[in-house]
Amino acid sequence: MVKVLVKWQGKKYEVDADITMPGEYFKAQLFSLTGVAPERQKILVKGGQLKDDTDMSQLGLKENQILMMIGTVGELLKAPTQPVKFVEDMSENEVAQALSIPAGLTNLGNTCYMNATLQCLKAIPELKSATDKHSVARGQTDARANMVESMKSLFKQLNESGEGVPPFVFLQFLRQAYPRFAEQDSQHGGYRQQDADEFWSEMLTTLDQVLGKDGSVSTVVEKHMSGRMVTTWKCDEAPDEEPTVRQEPFRKLNCLIDKSVNYLSQGIKKGLEEVIEKHSETLDRNADYKSVSRIDRLPEYLTVTYNRFFWKASESIDAKIVKSVKFPLDLDVSEFCTPELVEKMRPARLHLREIEDKKAHERKLAKKGQNAEPEAEKKEMDVDVKPEGSSSTPFELSPEFKADDGCNPTGMYELIGVVTHIGRTANSGHYMAWVRKEKGVGGPDPAGRGIPETQHWWYKFDDDEVSMVTDDEILKLCGGGDWHTAYVTLYRAKKLE
């Protein structure tokens, strides 16, 4: 690091210039201090003007050297409309954009935890809509507000680019807002690897705080990504003692892992039930209390995290639990809900089952039709067969669920995102994101590898390298060895249509 002074509009700003990073990173630092966007900065250095790809180590910067910056805070001029181009005239980047192939994020040195999390959050359209409506005042010094603004800009870049996008500006604000993500690795040098689950939690907290300042009654995080839990504490040793009941919000469910847990549902159940020792006023001594938590409100997007790491004192590391824990592509969490919520969801659950049965029946008829004679096929398709258990009464969602925007009225979810970790400790290894490709959205599916209609393709984000896999590859992320292991899973409520 070299401390330099940057002179701009009569003021001097002290900046710790990291000469191991390109000029774009230095511009991001100045953006956070002055509010002047990197595209509007003209920084005069030896040999001319600082460029994004300038090698800072070749500038010969000295302590307290004064640099001059020219630029104003304000909106960039819009580029003129580009003429229509044909595919054969496009660059590789333009072709990728035309085919809607998603772009990845460049690893800036142990930032895979951040890249993987952001790619999963990007799969939530309501989040993008909320950030698009939010704006930050010019010259804003609140690092958290600037985080949200730079995330909005980053998502826009990812949508428009066909190649890796370096998240310099976002990373700069993240480390300002949460200094622990700027911790240095004393043994190997550079920045330390961080925990993707911790970053996920801090990102939701930041979004909730910043977007809440807009005056919204409830934010996108509260509506679409937060549920409500009812927890009951009871002491079996004191049956006359009244149970303690409390309600509290939650943003994720925890999957606890031990020798008995082989499936996600088992781990979630363990996470919702525990026994602790505390003082009992009735017995006037310490006693065991059992807590049982049940869900009272389900969010549209449900985050489930896996407690894959534990402190290993003998080696002073956060060691990893590599045990296999299978997770489903379709998740039913009704068993973890209060009896009252289960009863309220019953009509919607029945309707959803009818929809899925009807689709299965239509696929069956279509498959038969491919091998049938034309006349026989017509007769087969003309038969009005109702799925088993279907109701003739038109379905209408209850007023309570209609009024609760962002809730899940069925308890049925489908997997749309996974953050995985490969490695043996929390402070090492590598994170990746796996995001489901929606049918009919984005570019065409890979040719030559036909998959059943009921399955999906997935984008595999290995930082800025993006490829595609099928459902079968996703189900292999359950753990059990030195392979990519699910650490955070993102589920979305199944649609009632």
- In the set 224, 430, 478, 484, the catalytic residue is 430
Of 249, 245, 267, 269, nearest to 258 by C-alpha is 267
Tell me the C-alpha distance between 179 and 22, whole Å: 21
Q: Are the beta carbons of 99 and 158 closer than 8 angstroms?
A: no
Determine whether 478 is an active site residue: no
Q: Are the beta carbons of 479 and 485 closer than 8 angstroms?
A: yes
- In the set 112, 235, 407, 478, the catalytic residue is 112
CA distances from 233 to 252, 253, 292, 366, 465 (A): 21, 19, 7, 54, 48
Tell me the C-alpha distance between 340 and 342, whole Å: 5
Beta strand residue intervals within 10-81, DSSP E: 11-17, 42-45, 48-49, 65-70
Of 165, 492, 39, 20, nearest to 298 by C-alpha is 492
Backbone dihedral region for residue 299 (phi beyond 0: left; psi -120 to 50: alpha; all else: beta): beta
Strand pairing of 301-306 and 253-255? parallel
In the chain the first and final C-alpha atoms are separated, in Å, by: 57
Tokens linked to 27? 């511009």
Tell me the C-alpha distance between 340 and 295, whole Å: 10
Determine whether 112 is an active site residue: yes
State the catalytic residues.
112, 430
